[in-house]
A = this chain, B = another copy of it.
């Protein structure tokens, strides 16, 4: 770091299993990607090319290469998986992953209805090819999944071969784990945590107040996702208790 501040929360280091930040790139140009990597590669553990933006992104191979050279794995958003599945193009999807040399993939059913057994089969099959992140939660605000179902699905998907499970929030942070207003479904999160190991979960938390909530509940090294590139540095300061929002929270830990 640029100077010494005593008694900061201890952050995990790369490669991280906890304290993991997944950033969402929704169409950065090549040069913007280089800029992002230059300033944030220490703080970003994996990048999602949001939903199916990879379909219309120019110089996609070059972009993936920029991330790869910085040691940051890239994966396509789950909506892309769903777009292939709904068209009966699963084999094509698998070939696309190979064409772009991807080592991670997301399996989700946020926009389609997928029998859960079938979803787990996709996870198992893909897990032979790549590291699988699976996502739980609908993008449809009207589809409320009760906590016991979240837990059951998360556990089954991890058993099927998912490396980590992702709690859905979208880019906006107003579905899945969150209410319309962006407020956390607190009871849901706490119930999930009684049954699923924390390090196996990535919480999508695009809004600052959501990041703060999770950091206050689970500490500096909670796994967070859907972080906008321009919010990666701010998030790092929140994890370290160096922004107003968590400044007090970590002071108790300081022995002055």
Contacts and interface: CB of A to CB of B under 8 A. Distances in A.
A189 interface: no
A236 B88 CA distance: 23
A213 B2 CA distance: 38
A17 to B, nearest CB: 21
User: How many copies, total?
Assistant: 3
A10 interface: no
Interface in A3-45: 3-7, 26-32, 34-36, 38-40, 42-43
Interface of A: 1-7, 26-32, 34-36, 38-40, 42-43, 50-60, 79-80, 82-84, 86-89, 92, 96, 99, 110-112, 139, 170, 230, 232-234, 236-237, 240, 242-244, 247-248, 251, 254, 256
23 contacts: A3-B55, A3-B99, A26-B233, A26-B234, A27-B230, A29-B39, A30-B35, A30-B38, A31-B38, A32-B35, A39-B58, A42-B58, A43-B56, A50-B234, A51-B242, A55-B237, A79-B242, A83-B247, A87-B254, A110-B244, A111-B244, A111-B248, A170-B244
